[in-house]
Amino acid sequence: MAVEARTSDFGGKARVALNDPKLRANFRRAMDGLMSKRAAQFSDKEEWTALRARGAAVRARALARLPELLEQLEAKLTANGVTVHWAETTAEANAVVLEILQKAGARRVIKGKSMVTEEMHLNAHLEANGIRAVESDLGEYIIQLAGQAPSHIVMPCIHMNKVEIAELFAARIEGQPYTENVDELTAAARKALRDRFADADAGISGVNFAVAETGTLVLIENEGNGRLSTTLPPLHIAVTGIEKVLEKLDDVAPLLSLLPRSATGQVVTTYVNMISGPRKPGEKDGPKEVHLVLLDNGRSRVFCDTELADTLRCIRCAACMNHCPVYTRVGGHTYSFTYPGPIGKILTPQIEGLDCAGDQPHASTLCGACAEVCPVQIPIPDLLARLRTEAVHPTSIAVKGGGSGRSLAESLGWGGWTALYSSPLIYRISTRLLGLFGNLMPACTPMLREWTRIRSKPKFAAKSLHELARERGFSNDER
Amino acid sequence: MTSARDRILSRLKSAPRRTMPERPDWAAPRYGEGRMTQFRAMLEAAHADVREVSAAEWPELLRAILAGKGVDQVLFAPATAAGRKLAEAWATGEAPRLVPYDRPIEEMKPVLVHEVQAAVTTARSGIAQTGSLVLWPTPDEPRLMSLLPPIHVVLVDKARIVDSLADTMATEAWAGGMPTNAVLVSGPSKTADIEQTLAYGVHGPKELIVLVIGEAA
């Protein structure tokens, strides 16, 4: 399992990705497909507007009552027979999961797709403690075989093409011949994983929505691996971020209409799995024990800022990355951390800190495509701008690592800019000087160099706007 | 010593209170007379095989369908009305062997994981908007029936096909009592993880056969 870097190097990694024609072709093809499928789902603008307003309100309502709803969820689940655990950090969550498994004597774990367990690096932790966790979602299985991390939150192996997957399967699955036939590759995974499901001592899954009203965990998927992981083994551990809670069961319907349509352009996923408890007496299958681990990992801090808390509305559909002009060109691994693309650019710096992921909010053109397609109306560009401000604000406390991006040269530069624009005299002298001598400045002048590295040097006009206006008879009314 | 729970909750509770927006109006679509057409079209688009058949004739239709597929072992729920009807109808003539799901999974695992080729279950209702079957597993009709065998046959009463999930959740008051597990099934198991190319039957059933039970056609 690849362990991710604790600081991001977006610029360096982006340069490598941009020069990789295979990677770019893989992403271009996939993203074009996902964008057109989504567009076909939301061709009725009136329906989209009403549905999305409802979805955003449902998530905002849940966040407005988050602490009470978490308590209600815990009480309901407990009454249903589910054990609820709380973890402040990923290390705590890993320890909780390990303890549950060890108590049950579990050695073999089958996993449904879960981004929160990726955030925890759970597999590596279990491996280090002698427990083998096998990913069962086809995409996750592929990247686990390849020793990689997901490059997309919905389609984890989207960066690979079938030739790469064919080579991987032939090399890593016993008795598997080389084939590029997708049906045969899929059948090979089914065959390889069938006994892993049957042998597993425990299943681990994520959660899409946790309904406080009824104590119900809602999981959506297409393959059936999520249902198998949560039904066949005798023990099921679900792991979720604390923000995934919903007030009412009825709130599930509009979100279920938004999520798969935004994600993959499907009207619904093949399976919507609603779990409200362990096997009851008399029932013949289902896990005998169900646990829910609620992970904070910085989310409660995000929650304390009323503007930034909108980040927590996210339902992880990935539409923002599918439509991002940056993500679609550089791919998910460029972002270094678990959540790539626009949602990652606002979530990662808040969880990991601006001091180690401060370059992420800058990996954006602020074009607004992400906000336009977000099914729960997260104002991502506004939050990117806010994080850029927090990074350089000398007294920022709202975000972990706030103020860490402040540099003396930049502060002086902007200070000078402010002075220049707030004093008519200095402004006039400066523009006159730049008109006379600006074009003599070499392109490699410090600060100007950053601009001219990839652009042509701007040409200063011989006369300023003021001078031109005065020549034409306009006068400044200075009283 | 405070627990992680207390620390998380106290941080959340210390945050500034925010206003609760109202839920703006939104209504799922209605289909009226076109409900069955929509239900069938959505399921067929998802690669399911949909047949309309009368309550008297479905066991024979199913016998013919499964014979065509070379199925010789079918998992069934012996204690349900549908299960009894199937056993009765298939008792005479050539038919696949009926395997009852009558013991806990721990005793049935090899049979379910590797042996039976098909299973027959009922659906509580159908959802036209998305072409979904609402499965509500019970002690008599357990969860894994609709998941492990390569072919899943599901019976749904035509009169129980509704417009939308929102509709059925509200009219049947689901929030009043959820079962251990409720599932919406909208086609056979599928994946598009390899180059966005659709492939069926990755972990769940490769085929979904939907028998819509209504008055004789």
Q: Residue ranges per domain, chain B?
A: 34-191+199-214
In this predicted model, what pLDDT tens digit does every residue of B152-211 receive, in sequence order?
999 999 999 999 999 999 999 999 999 999 999 999 999 999 999 999 999 999 999 999
Residue A60 has pLDDT above 70, yes or no: yes
For residue A444, the model assigns a pLDDT of: 84
Asked whether the beta carbons of residue B180 and residue A283 sit closer than 8 angstroms, the reply is yes
CATH number of A244's domain: 3.40.50.10420
Asked whether the beta carbons of residue B5 and residue A275 sit closer than 8 angstroms, the reply is no
Percent of chain B exceeding pLDDT 90 equals 96
Residues in a beta bridge with B52: B212
Q: Do A375 and A265 sit in the same domain of this protein? A: no
Segment B49-60 mean pLDDT: 97
Segment A323-342 mean pLDDT: 96
Asked whether the beta carbons of residue B142 and residue A228 sit closer than 8 angstroms, the reply is no
Nearest residue on chain B to A52, alpha-carbon basis: B26
Q: Do A438 and A368 sit in the same domain of this protein? A: no
For residue A148, the model assigns a pLDDT of: 95
**Cα Rg for chain B, rounded, in angstroms?**
21
Nearest residue on chain A to B208, alpha-carbon basis: A270
Last residue of a domain, one of A357, A383, A403: A403
- The dihedral over CA atoms of B65, B69, B73, B75, expressed in degrees to the nearest 10, equals -50
* Confidence band, pLDDT 50/70/90 cuts, at residue A477: low
Q: Name every chain A residue with its beta carbon within 8 A of the beta carbon of B23.
A: 54, 57-58, 61
CA distances B120 to A176, B87, B211, Å, are 33, 11, 10
> Nearest Cβ partner of B180 from A227, A253, A280?
A280
Q: Do A95 and A200 sit in the same domain of this protein? A: yes
Residue A5 has pLDDT above 80, yes or no: no
Look at B180 and A413; give whichever has higher pLDDT: B180
For residue A478, the model assigns a pLDDT of: 55
Residue B214 has pLDDT above 90, yes or no: yes
Q: Do A334 and A227 sit in the same domain of this protein? A: no
Q: Name every chain B residue with its beta carbon within 8 A of the beta carbon of A285.
A: 104-105, 142-144
Segment B15-27 mean pLDDT: 93
* Confidence band, pLDDT 50/70/90 cuts, at residue A1: very low
Residue A139 has pLDDT above 90, yes or no: yes
* Confidence band, pLDDT 50/70/90 cuts, at residue A479: very low
Q: Do A372 and A453 sit in the same domain of this protein? A: no
Architecture of the B34-191+199-214 domain: 3-Layer(aba) Sandwich (3.40)
Say if A48 falls within a structural domain. Answer: no
For residue B186, the model assigns a pLDDT of: 98
Position B103, amino acid = R
Q: Name every chain A residue with its beta carbon within 8 A of the beta carbon of B108.
A: 284
* Pairs of residues, one from chain A and one from chain B, whose beta carbons lie less than 8 Å apart: 248
For residue A2, the model assigns a pLDDT of: 43
* Confidence band, pLDDT 50/70/90 cuts, at residue A7: confident
Residue A290 has pLDDT above 50, yes or no: yes
Asked whether the beta carbons of residue A29 and residue B195 sit closer than 8 angstroms, the reply is yes
Position A83, amino acid = T
Select from B7, B26, B106 the residue whose CB has the most chain A CBs within 10 Å, as the one to mutate to test that interface. Answer: B26
Q: Do A155 and A251 sit in the same domain of this protein? A: yes
Q: Do A417 and A387 sit in the same domain of this protein? A: no
Segment A388-415 mean pLDDT: 90
Residue A29 has pLDDT above 50, yes or no: yes
Say if A310 falls within a structural domain. Answer: no
* Confidence band, pLDDT 50/70/90 cuts, at residue A475: confident
Nearest residue on chain A to B136, alpha-carbon basis: A274
Segment A374-381 mean pLDDT: 98
Say if A54 falls within a structural domain. Answer: no
Q: Do A244 and A108 sit in the same domain of this protein? A: yes
Last residue of a domain, one of A267, A300, A333: A300
Q: Do A12 and A109 sit in the same domain of this protein? A: no
Segment B85-105 mean pLDDT: 96
Percent of chain A exceeding pLDDT 90 equals 84
Asked whether the beta carbons of residue A250 and residue B169 sit closer than 8 angstroms, the reply is yes
> Nearest Cβ partner of A270 from B139, B166, B187?
B187
CA distances A123 to A108, A114, A120, A198, Å, are 11, 11, 8, 19
CA atoms within 13 A on the CB side of A146: 21
Domain range enclosing A117 = 60-300
Look at A435 and A104; give whichever has higher pLDDT: A104
Can you list the pairs that B87-94 forms with residues at least 24 positions away whose Cβ atoms lie under 8 Å?
A: B88/B59, B89/B59, B89/B60, B89/B63, B90/B59, B90/B63, B93/B63, B94/B67
The nearest CA of chain B is from the CA of A457 a distance in Å of 43
> Nearest Cβ partner of B21 from A57, A70, A156?
A57
For residue A452, the model assigns a pLDDT of: 87
Q: Do A352 and A458 sit in the same domain of this protein? A: no
Residue A424 has pLDDT above 80, yes or no: yes
For residue A214, the model assigns a pLDDT of: 98
> Nearest Cβ partner of A296 from B8, B185, B190?
B8
The nearest CA of chain B is from the CA of A53 a distance in Å of 7
Please count the structural domains in chain A.
3
Instruction: Yes or no: say if A144 and A134 are a contact pair by the CB < 8 Å rule.
Output: yes
Instruction: Yes or no: say if A72 and A407 are a contact pair by the CB < 8 Å rule.
Output: no
Say if A103 falls within a structural domain. Answer: yes
* Confidence band, pLDDT 50/70/90 cuts, at residue A6: low
Say if A212 falls within a structural domain. Answer: yes
Structure tokens at A238: 């679900």
Say if A369 falls within a structural domain. Answer: yes
For residue B71, the model assigns a pLDDT of: 97
Report ipTM (2 d.p.): 0.97
Is residue B138 classed as helix, strand or coil in its secondary structure?
coil
Integer Cα distance of B151 and A406 in angstroms: 62
Residue A100 has pLDDT above 70, yes or no: yes
Say if A427 falls within a structural domain. Answer: yes
Asked whether the beta carbons of residue B4 and residue A92 sit closer than 8 angstroms, the reply is yes
Contacts with A47 (C-beta within 8 Å, 6 or more apart), sequence order: none
Say if A190 falls within a structural domain. Answer: yes
Segment A352-372 mean pLDDT: 95
Segment A310-323 mean pLDDT: 98
B132-135 and B125-127 beta bridge pairing: antiparallel
